[in-house]
Structure 1
């Protein structure tokens, strides 16, 4: 599988060894940004299980990084969306390296007992109108 030149320049050897399936799919679609592919073709080209590729494509679509029409998938044409996703992933990787990955149990242990004042339930709204 090929990667774009920017990834090649900024990534460490460890990062290049451990490229995730969604990243591989994105890189493939970026390399052929003027085309759309069926999931099975992407899987065959990357030598990855088709079900794994389909799952990755669905997740990438939910993040608005790929577009889907009929049986075909393509990289989003929204360059700003792609850049903001890449920036977020770089920042997350940097923070995880410096501070360690987040622990959901720690977040829940420190969560306030009461909801934030900006969070209004339907019940609260009904009380205000009575």
Structure 2
């Protein structure tokens, strides 16, 4: 796969994620829909990996799915925002290193999780419970 001349000049090509490759492929071919296998072949990735990534991208509203075919969402501003976010994370990682650099560090972060919910999460759950109760009483 060709790379941009700036990437060539900078040295090693950064490894792009399967999700990034999928979005790039569908963006370049946004006038068509493709099967999982067609996408996997086009981006040279395992079809099962592509399938998992397509499901996650659909949950985030970045792709559409109908029967066996997948296409980019019609909401291109949503795609643009996701690309900006991805670029920002890549820049931060290049400048400061990965947020979590090892399995041990990941375990340390997981172990540091509080036993209780953050107050903002508790407030949201209480509000949704109040909203449900109000809705149920208005239904009767």
TM over 0.5: yes
Which deviations, in whole Å up to 9, do the C-alpha atoms of 1:49-101 show, x marking residues without a partner?
22122122112212211111111100111111111101111111122222222
Q: Is the 8 A contact 1:2 1:27 kept in 2?
A: no
Q: 2:7 aligns with which of 12, 25, 35?
A: 12
Taking only aligned residues, the RMSD between alpha carbons, in angstroms, comes to: 3.0
Higher relative contact order (CA 8 A, sep 6+): 1
Q: Gapped runs of 5+ residues in structure 1? A: 126-130
Q: Which residue in the other structure is 1:77 paired with?
A: 74
Kindly tell me the number of residue pairs found equivalent between the two proteins: 118
TM-score (norm. length: structure 1) = 0.70
Q: Which residue in the other structure is 1:116 paired with?
A: 118
Q: Secondary structure at the match of 1:18?
A: coil
2:26 aligned with 1:24? no
Note closer, same or farther for the CA distance 1:50–1:97 as it changes in structure 2 (3 Å cut). Answer: same
Q: Which residue in the other structure is 2:49 paired with?
A: 52
Query: How far, CA to CA, are the matches of 1:77 and 1:70 in structure 2?
Result: 18
Query: How far, CA to CA, are the matches of 1:30 and 1:19 in structure 2?
Result: 16
TM-score (norm. length: structure 2) = 0.66
